[in-house]
Amino acid sequence: MILKSQVEWALHCCAILSGLPEGRYLSTKALAELHGLPKEYLSKALQSLSQAGLVHTTLGPSGGYRLARPPAEVSFLDIVEAVEGSGRTFVCNNIRANNPCRPKGFCDTGPCAVARVMWQADEAWRNTLRGVTMADLGQTLSQEIPPDIWSGTFAWVLKRAG
Amino acid sequence: MILKSQVEWALHCCAILSGLPEGRYLSTKALAELHGLPKEYLSKALQSLSQAGLVHTTLGPSGGYRLARPPAEVSFLDIVEAVEGSGRTFVCNNIRANNPCRPKGFCDTGPCAVARVMWQADEAWRNTLRGVTMADLGQTLSQEIPPDIWSGTFAWVLKRAG
DNA sequence: TTAAATAGGGATATCTTGTATCCTTAATAG
DNA sequence: CTATTAAGGATACAAGATATCCCTATTTAA
């Protein structure tokens, strides 16, 4: 059970978009070059973000993506769910209902005990991701990346931002 | 990102094995019938449990599986990891290292900030699963399943246990 | 001693999902 | 008008999940 690599891509792209000045846009091409990713396929991940309403887009030259909300209002969970879907990692096929010792329909009253525990773990996972935003990530990054490299990347992005 | 159905199977099988009297064994065939599962394929899941040391096996007629440890010492996490592996759900491909603005080798000092957050969520997931044992599950089940059905299944199992 | 039942595991087949590329369309800026 | 962009459909390929079959060694029961 491994998350798609698109999740990683989307997170890093949103991190970059978080540093983009108000009203500027960054294209798929620029994001792909910056991360060394296949442009066409990265585009699919960005489309997922768009459909989820996390980013805003414009067409034409100088077009591209920007965050649709302030970085403090975009959580890891938002991004992960946009790409990976919001379904649970554990699917209960209710195999307890196949137990020949149980009357038909007996197991229709609610989710089984096994599923409840697994879903509880899912919730713990989600809660952690819900608690970290792009603003938090930006703060962390700005602290652990040397100022010259940080501003170098910033300049690189601005040169390509429409 | 969905867990294999074998995880569900393994959990339910261990729940049954938890109720097995000391020294008795239950075969793949019986476990497959009880849950309505393909015997041959379920066997693969049980082999995973065996390789992880969670269950003990015997050969021959009246052979099968029993828990290798007391139910209170077998956690959900043990079983999930036995089937699904103990790797992280988020794989960091270190795409930040492709950033043309960063000197080569700059990103070798440790995991990136994005991965650290994702791994923190993984840990929250694991911690939840580590905190629930087969003994806990047995208690829950015995409380929510009517006594007659509970003992009916128990009798069914004993009739087939070697 | 023999026969039946068992776990273990290898080989294979199929289906789903993830990954990746290509192409067309509509919109937009210069 | 032209170049550039996002969106999305079609397709191809690789990897993983699901499932079945078959063979072997072992052990119990008759």
One-character DSSP codes across B66-135: EESS-GGG-BHHHHHHHHH-S--SS----GGGG-TTS-TTGGGGS--HHHHHHHHHHHHHHHHHHT-BHH
Taking the C-alpha atoms of residue A40 and residue A70, their distance in angstroms, rounded to an integer, is: 27
Residue A108 has a pLDDT of: 67
> What is chain A's Cα-based Rg?
20
Is the CB of B159 less than 7 A from some atom of nucleic acid strand C? no
User: d(Cα A7, Cα B75) in Å, to the nearest integer?
Assistant: 29
Contact A114 B89 (CB under 8 A): no
Contacts of residue A74, Cβ cutoff 8 Å, sequence gap at least 6: A14, A18, A54, A67, A133, A134
Please state whether strand C lies within 7 Å of residue A6 at its CB atom. Answer: yes
- What is the predicted pLDDT for the residue at B109? 74
Tens of each residue's pLDDT in chain A, 162 residues: 899 999 999 999 999 999 999 999 999 999 999 999 999 999 999 999 999 999 999 999 999 999 999 999 999 999 999 999 999 999 999 898 888 888 777 766 778 999 999 999 999 999 999 999 999 999 999 999 888 888 999 999 999 998
Per-residue pLDDT at B102: 82
At residue A129, the pLDDT reads: 98
Burial of B15 (0-12, 13-18, 19+ CB in 10 A): buried
Please give the Cα distance from A6 to A42 (Å, whole number): 7
Please, which residues bridge with residue B26 across strands? B65
What separation in angstroms does the CA of A117 have from each of A113, B56, B75, B125? 6, 25, 11, 11
| Residue B95 touches chain A, beta carbons under 8 Å | yes
β-partners of residue A65 are A26, A57
User: How much is the pLDDT for A1?
Assistant: 85
Contact A34, A94 (CB under 8 A): no
The alpha-carbon radius of gyration of chain B (Å, integer) is 20
Report A:19-48 residues touching B (Cβ under 8 A).
Answer: 33-37
Residue in A closest to B140 by C-alpha? A113
Do B24 and B161 meet the contact criterion of CB atoms below 8 Å apart? yes
Q: Is B65 helix (H, G, I), strand (E, B) or coil?
A: strand
- Amino acid residing at B16: I
Token code pair at residue A133: 């935003």
